[in-house]
Chains A and B, each alone.
Chain A
Amino acid sequence: MAIDFGQQRRWSYVDVVLYLVGVAGLAASITLLFLGMRAVLDIGGFCAEGGPYQIQTHCPDGVALLMPLAVFGGFGAAGLMAWKGAALGSVYAGLVFLAWPALFLSLGWNFLEYAFSPPPGMSGIQLGWLIPGILFVIMGAVPLLSALPIGRALRRPAAGSATARAHTTAEQPWPEESNLRKARKRLLNDLVAHAQAEATSDARPAGAAMPAADSDLVSRLERLDALHRSGALTYDEFQRAKAALLAGEGG
């Protein structure tokens, strides 16, 4: 059975409690990652713990335990949020996606802060932290902006404008392209109908498959095109003749 987001479903207070546990757990996990990262950046940005190795830089106390705990705890909490949120309504299930910008913006902030004011022993702007900082902020901010009402407004044309009406009435997202396709299809249909009419012209009156004027215009255009292709007409002559033909048709 597909999960039916947006539909009103039965829910109990157990769902609410577990959902809130998921929300709090996810917030706690992101907080732990934020603080753990700062602790590691304070000692130069890298550390190690465990294994039969000679370790140059040990991790701050507890960080080696808290970081994986926060990562896996965060995944579990997010899963709980999405699972129970689906029973409470699509809005509540969707809130779990805010964890992405929260995570990347907070960690990106750490990178940027330490890039510009590195810990003692390091001087100058730290490019190795500045670049990931910028990347993290972009990764966090772009989905957040597109989710916010201001982002949606930027992506959609103003209500009431011609483009907005076209967006709401046409199924195609690009009405101009859609019209172009329709026109091309119509022209192709006309050409095909004309060819069929010519093929059967012995059996039926000329132009019976389509309006006589259209048929005549198409056949003249075709002949012009053939003359142009054969080299009998230059491009300019072809264009002038075509314009005259179309103008005559329109008038």
Chain B
Amino acid sequence: MTGTSPGTPGRWLAVLVVLAVIAGVVAGLWLFSTLT
């Protein structure tokens, strides 16, 4: 995955995926502490 292939999202999407996972975990922790 060099991120240069036309038609394929670049490496920036892999970074966004990692950030989305972290955001999801934080959201889960927050939701749990808020609702319980």
Contacts and interface: CB of A to CB of B under 8 A. Distances in A.
B24 A9 contact: no
Given A16-B16, A60-B36, A31 B7 contact: no
B24 A27 contact: yes
Interface residues of A, number: 32
Interface in A1-46: 8-11, 16, 20-21, 23-32, 34-36, 39
Contact of A36 (B8, B13, B32): B32
A159 interface: no
Given A23-B24, A31-B29, A35-B28, A62 B35 contact: yes
Contacts, number: 79
B31 A32 contact: yes
B interface majority secondary structure: helix
Contacts of A16: 9, 13, 16
A129 B21 CA distance: 28
Taking residues whose C-beta sits less than 8 angstroms from the other chain, chain B's interface range is: 20 to 34
A62 B21 contact: no
Interface in B1-36: 1, 5-9, 13, 16-17, 20-25, 27-29, 31-32, 35-36
Interface of A: 8-11, 16, 20-21, 23-32, 34-36, 39, 60-63, 65-66, 88-89, 91-92, 95
